[in-house]
Structure 1
Amino acid sequence: MAGTADEKTTGGAASTPPAPRTLTGRAVPSAVGPADATIDTPESPAEYIGRARAKRPRIALAGPYGHPMHAVVITLPIGAWAASVVFDIIAFFVDDPSAFTLGAAVLVAIGLVGAVVAALLGFLDYSQIPAGTRARAVATVHMVANLLAMLLFTVSLVTRWFTGLDEISVPAFVISLVAMAIVGGSGALGGELAYHFGVRVADEDEQARIFGARRR
């Protein structure tokens, strides 16, 4: 009996080449799913292998098959930056805004640290997507948008520093709003990569195998 995709991996990477799968009448190396599965699709063997590779982690650090770490870590900068905007807004309506302006600056800094880690993990997934594909193009825009947001939040933090961390900085607030809007748009692209293109998402054979399984 063929092993599962997770059983064929060691530390997130394939240990031994699995049995071939049939693709439009041609045998190609299987990257996901049972070895005896067949696929009836017009895509070429190279396209299939490239799509299957995009579902796999490049190294163990990127997270195991079906559990990408980028999707986990990215919640830290998004949450921190969103909270910083809320703190900025509150600062406009209180008598002593120093606690909220300082808190906003700290949250921006925390978000930047988390964003660096998320970017490194995201690049590992990005490197698995074949060049010249639509998925790679969307991933490139997603990456550039995230880097731009990181740059803007860095500018926002520096602006706060020179204005005074205990004082309201309207320019820093506006920059953060623009950066947050970019993060939102980039997040939509990230969702498209996962839910439309299936990047780092378990293949349908694996989904079918575990979807109705009861937790022990």
Structure 2
Amino acid sequence: MTADPQQAEPDPYRAKHPVSAALAGPYGHPFHPILVTVPIGAWVASLIFDLASQVVDDPEFLARGALWLIAIGVLGALAAATVGFLDFLALPAGTPAFRTGLVHLSLNLAVTVAFALDFVWRRAEGTHGAVPWGPLLLSVAALAALTVSGYLGGKLAYRYGVRVADETTQATGFQR
């Protein structure tokens, strides 16, 4: 009697190793967590610029800075998504890790689209004064979704161990 391959237990160690070490980072050193700092930092800074543009006498430089921080964030998100997708490909379908990864991926895609639309909206409005409330509120909503997605990304790494070295490898850091 042969075992049905569809019923076989997924290999949890498969998600610890990169699909392509050259593209996604070597074992124990994934590129995705490093790259996500660019869009997160740029988009948070853009919101700070947005808020500051509401209270200064000459807000144009802040509105223009926020616009370009959003663009930097979108480009950074595309780079992070590329290597993140490679990590996602290593997740066995039908598992809680896969479902969490799919929601994480979908939220990040929605956030990136929201910020791309935010950029277009701001370009159309111009940067002649304080950031209008519509684009500012879109940034707030997108950052709220990004927060949820970041929580899920943490769950993937710290609860499910996606692209995290196995415990035996980790233990070598505590040997004398």
TM-score bracket, normalised by the shorter chain, equals over 0.9
Normalized against structure 1, the TM-score is what?
Answer: 0.75
- Cα offset, 1:170, TM superposition: 1.4
% same residue? 45
| CA distance, structure 1, for counterparts of residue 35 and residue 139 of structure 2 | 20
Q: Does 1:209 align with 2:141?
A: no
Query: Which structure dedicates a bigger proportion of its chain to strand?
Result: 1
| CA distance, structure 2, for counterparts of residue 133 and residue 211 of structure 1 | 31
SS in 2 for 1:165: coil
Gaps of 5+ in 1: 1-43
Q: Does 1:192 align with 2:155?
A: yes
Query: Which structure dedicates a bigger proportion of its chain to helix?
Result: 2
| CA distance, structure 1, for counterparts of residue 9 and residue 95 of structure 2 | 12
- Cα offset, 1:166, TM superposition: 2.9
Match of 1:55 in 2: 16
- 1:159·1:169 contact (CA, 8 Å) conserved in 2? no
Q: CA RMSD in A?
A: 1.3
| CA distance, structure 2, for counterparts of residue 142 and residue 110 of structure 1 | 21
Gaps of 5+ in 2: 1-6
Normalized against structure 2, the TM-score is what?
Answer: 0.92
Q: Alpha-carbon deviations, 1:58-101, whole Å to 9, x = none? A: 10210010011000000000000000000000000011100000
| CA distance, structure 2, for counterparts of residue 55 and residue 166 of structure 1 | 49
Which structure exhibits the higher relative contact order, with contacts defined as CA atoms closer than 8 Å and separated by 6 or more residues? 2
Which structure would you say has the larger Rg?
1
Which piece of structure 1 moves more, 129-138 or 201-210? 201-210
- 1:87·1:104 contact (CA, 8 Å) conserved in 2? yes
